[in-house]
Structure 1
Amino acid sequence: MEPGTVVWRETAQSLLRQKWLIMGCIVLGLLGASVFALSQTTRWTASSQLVIGPAVPPALVGKLSDGADKTGPLGMDLPAETQARVMASPTLLAAVVKQLGMPTDDKTIQDLASVTRVKAVTDNAYLVTTDGPTAQKAVDRANAIASIYLAQRNTEAKALLTNLAEQAQARSKTATQQSRSLVSQIDEAVGRGDNQTAAALRDQRVGLATEARQAADDAAAMLKALATVGAGSQLVTPATTDTASSSPIVARDILVGGILGLVLGFGLALLRSHLTPYILTRDQAARATSSPVIAASEGHRRRFWQRSAPELPQYEITALGAEASGALARRELSPRAFAGGGPGALLVVSASPTPNSAGIALAMAEANARDGRETLLVLADIEGTPVLPHLTGHEGLTDLVMEPAATRAIRARKLFRPGTVADLYVLPPGLNHEETAEAVGPSLVPGIVADLPPGYSVVIHGPASVGRHGITPLAAAVDASVLVVQVGLDKEMDVARLTGALQFAGAPVLGVVLIGAASQDETLGIPLNYKPLDSAPPMR
């Protein structure tokens, strides 16, 4: 059976055995929803839509349009979110309260602000939503907010235009007077025969006259633009009592409460039926495998909403593999030739499918090859995540299924591919994806390993043991094994079963690579009364 397969009959029987728990959750949901719905006061919600264009068309306000930015020529075309906040601000709502004849105290304004929501639908379209004790009051409030904001905006724009027009007229008048005062100075300069001064004064007079005309034109344009203020802004969809909605809806809330209670009941029943203790600490991993934790990674723990283990960064996988390989080379953890520095075979496997075990096997093989030993990495997890993408298109293990036994070893050596470091060779999973080839492929590994030339070290990455095949023949091809355990994903019983199976097949577990250890986990990760399997050979 594949991992994650649900046995529906057993699940249904489990739910029936806990029917009272499910019914209790449903009743609790119905009662809670009923109390909540009946305790709420009835309120009505109304919405109005308005469109806000430029406060004044830029083309109608003279030179102001030349320096305009995103806020318009008058600086009043604010961003949509800003205008939405202004419409819902207590300052504007104070005018709404006054217009509707409501009490003008702070509490009334704050209460109205708490039920008013203004959303910028587009850059210039807004949705004003507010609540009221009756449908008519909610409609009046929504329309008043939109209308008052538009009116205040238009009033401010007209006042600003009028002020600017008066300033432009004043500039024009001043420039005209200064231009006239230069006439006598020009005549005096001409009378003295000072033509250079006279020419300079004439140029100055021309500039003042031009400035006066421009200021007069600007003032006229601004006064003309007063009639167009607010032309692009209007209340396009007023709120009406027909579109107002009321809440709470008691029947709907009770129905939702019953559904939530049913879901909660199913969840608690399944959790209670299928909850199996997961490995959460280093000591739990050591106890399940009767082996020490030789490398651990903190963080990256699988959360309950995740279906699979999180993938570690490549640098962290490499560090874990190197640390595990180094731990196996120590005297206290060296029961086999591979760990002691000589040729041997090692199996790297996990109880549950994880994207990290293949990378750890590759890192351990790389560490062994860096020590100067010719190392073969066999990727026997046919259906697993490719650890070396550049080898996915090459023949490999499954392609040897149809090869005669007499030539299989020779053919296998021809399929070895250079690895990521010197002295490292890789046997890819293969291109034959038939079910028979994938099932038989792992059983060919013992023969391939046995026919290798002397001096080779072998690292085999096997498939996850839960719901998968191929572990037993792989275990028969190696001297020892290393388990990759994921905190929160691997069950303690599954890891213990896998450890027993490997021990029976002649591949005892030397250590555990733990992924997802908590930072506050201070356990040692060493089994009680732990002793190495064999006496350790001297270190090289």
Structure 2
Amino acid sequence: MELRDYLRILHRNWILILALTVLGGAGAYGYSLLQTPSYEAETQLYVSVRSDSSGVSELAQGTTFARQAVVSFVDVIDSALVLDRVIDDLNLDTTAQRLASSIQASSATNSVIITVKVSNPNAELAASIANSVGSNFSDVVVNRLEKPDGDTASLVKVETIAPALVPTSPATPRVPLNVAIGIIIGLALGLGIAILRSVLDTRIHSLHDIEAATEAPVLGGISFDPDAKKRPLIVHADPRNPRAESFRSLRTNLQFIDVDGSSRSFVVSSAGPGEGKSTTTANLAIALAETGARVVLVDGDLRLPRVADYMGIEGGVGLTDVLIGRAELVDVLQQWGTGKLFVLPSGRTPPNPSELLGSQAMQRTLEALADAFDYVLVDAPPLLLVTDAAVVSRFTSGVLMVAASGTTKKPQLTAAVEKLEAIGSRLFGVIVTMLPSKGPDSYGYGAYSYAAQDGAADVARDGRRTRRDKTEQR
């Protein structure tokens, strides 16, 4: 995956990522509020060894002994020998073992200073325990553990150099830190889910996905229209609609396709059903006819014909009648509109569609149409369901593949392309339908409507200028 792939994932899943990030921070904040505040008091003890001599070597030996002893003294602080005395001094309702869990003693390397930290929900009690630990530890070490036999005083001395003060703010929970950790965890979880969704999702969402599935060029993109079923012929129903302009852009790209010979006959198919091939074929035919070209639209889907319904013509007699010799081609062609667009409906549904479409009669029919028209568009069934489209493609210049964003899967598109390659048919390009008009997978149609509005404004401006000039001349 490249950097732009990750950026596209972030753009596509930014709501999920943001929601999990906010949820992580909010959860950490709520968890912090539910925790009992704990205060931490700290005291520091200085351990030294007295010497009978004031010589430098004796002082050095005493300091070295103190440093070595401190390591052992740290473990004495949370022992029952010290803590039982603390419990008696403060009348605590606990045990030495439980009290030890709230006490932490430490000493830096080569240091004679011991730091004692005590945590407790009560700030004053935390300070009292810390100070009591310090005094009782000193007494245990000096008067019991390190006291020589007889009446000789102990050479070890423990002094408190920093008594514990009552803390003014709780040490835990650390709300800012917890919230920051929650946000990081939520963000990481959101990114992980977003990447996992992208990896597991094999559907086509953008033109980039088309490029990853096939080397065929992308001829154009058609945006998603929720009212497409109500207005299937958008080029005719609303010529200034941005979606209609996208079909005209497709028309322009199709005109520049390098086709061997003078014939421009194309089979329009898709990998699976419901990808918008029939409406795409019909609108493309209307857009081509707008240029003055002679266009014929053939309904080659003899199983589920749709062209006649979309174009609003009678489809009872059509292609099947020509193929079986019941009617002449010129008699079943129906002119649509006032231009040079003709429609050849499918006719009655036959029991053997594949055999009819692969017959010599079909080949002669398409050759006759290619001689009489500039463009021949054949709406064929999906490639992966039946062999009809593959069979017909042998008699035409090639295939235009329709793939629906969010519906067509990459393996399906790849399989359809491989099927065409296996029989030697030429794939001229892919038309992406149902593209979102906004977001990372959009195709960008705002420029069409913007240009149309500017054009209308220019026309109106020129009209007002012309009328003003005429008035001045008068």
Give the TM bin, normalised by the shorter chain.
Answer: 0.3 to 0.5
TM-score by length of 1: 0.38
TM-score by length of 2: 0.43
